[in-house]
Structure 1
Amino acid sequence: MASDDESGTVRIDSWIWSVRLTKTRSQAATACRAGHVRVNGERVKPAQAVRTGDEVRVRLAGHERIVVVSKVIKKRVGAPVAAECYVDNSPPPPPREHVAPVAVRDRGTGRPTKRDRRELERLQGH
């Protein structure tokens, strides 16, 4: 019987972990069971085989990653090597809202003076 490397397939949860889309293999398997992983548009179980050319959609932390498998690997590798194993077609993340800087006062300095309050308001954009 052929091994996974000879047939060109590997388990989807193992591949997602190997190319560093998730931190642990158990996170990858949990995402598969929860329906957050799709291969070629189909929801998959953790043991589903993935091949070169498959489109994998992984939804993690509210952000969807869309990757096309360019190389099937079974062992976890470094980030530069892992990036060569897929083509990332993910949409760019939405722009982050500008957050006003938070004014921090030293503990024990007492109540802010009128001048301090005006500077705080100026920083906050009031």
Structure 2
Amino acid sequence: MRVDKFLWSVRLFKTRSISTARVKEGKVEVGGVVVKASRELKVGEEVRVRAGAHYELVQVLAFPKGRVGAKLVEEYIIDKTPLEERERQALTREVMREYPGKIGRPTKKERRNWEKWQR
């Protein structure tokens, strides 16, 4: 099965076009080598997918016929991402949660709450 199709099938990417784009950008490695989207995967190979400063490492167990549900993904891949990387991802998520997402014009609801508080 093609690398881009496999990554989309096991839900590492939301759409097939995003999957293909990431492979073309060189964000996907198989066995430590950057691959093209058309590269055929084999059972047992390890695929490393980079996303920003983080990455995921998965081993191929089998090939799905199409896109599978989230509960069935573990039948097709084993997550081999190191514990240190998982901790780094969790730390990044925690920091981003504390980061104020909106710093601009208030929404209508926020403005009404502000006006109510000022009275």
TM range, smaller chain: 0.7 to 0.9
Question: Which 5+ residue runs of structure 2 have no aligned equivalent?
Answer: 101-109
Question: Which 5+ residue runs of structure 1 have no aligned equivalent?
Answer: 1-9, 112-126
**Residue identity (%):** 36
Match of residue 39, structure 2, among 26, 33, 48: 48
Which whole-Å CA distance do the structure 2 matches of 1:88 and 1:54 have between them?
12
Aligned partner of 1:85: which letter? Y
The answer to whether residue 101 in structure 2 is matched with residue 110 in structure 1 is no
RMSD, aligned α-carbons: 2.4
For the pair shown, which has the larger CA radius of gyration, 1 or 2?
Answer: 1
Asked whether the 8 Å contact 1:56–1:67 carries over to 2, the reply is yes
Per the alignment, do residues 61 and 23 of structure 1 end up closer, same or farther by CA in structure 2, a change over 3 Å counting?
farther
Which whole-Å CA distance do the structure 2 matches of 1:36 and 1:44 have between them?
9
Aligned partner of 2:118: which letter? G
* Aligned 1:1-126 pairs, distance under 5 A: 10-90=1-81, 91-94=85-88, 95=91, 96-97=94-95, 99=98, 106-108=113-115, 109-110=117-118
Residues 7-43 of structure 1 show CA distances to partners (whole Å, capped at 9, x for unaligned) of xxx0000000000000011111000100000001110
Task: Please list every run of at least 4 consecutive aligned residues from structure 1 whose deviation after the TM superposition is greater than 4 angstroms.
Answer: none
Q: CA deviation at 1:78?
A: 0.7
Q: Relative to total residues, which structure has the larger helix share, 1 or 2?
A: 2
29-38 or 87-96, larger mean C-alpha shift = 87-96
Which whole-Å CA distance do the structure 1 matches of 2:9 and 2:98 have between them?
35
Give the TM-score normalised by the residue count of structure 2: 0.73
Q: CA deviation at 1:84?
A: 1.7
Which whole-Å CA distance do the structure 1 matches of 2:87 and 2:18 have between them?
22
Q: CA deviation at 1:100?
A: 8.7
| Paired residues, number | 100
Per the alignment, do residues 99 and 44 of structure 1 end up closer, same or farther by CA in structure 2, a change over 3 Å counting?
same
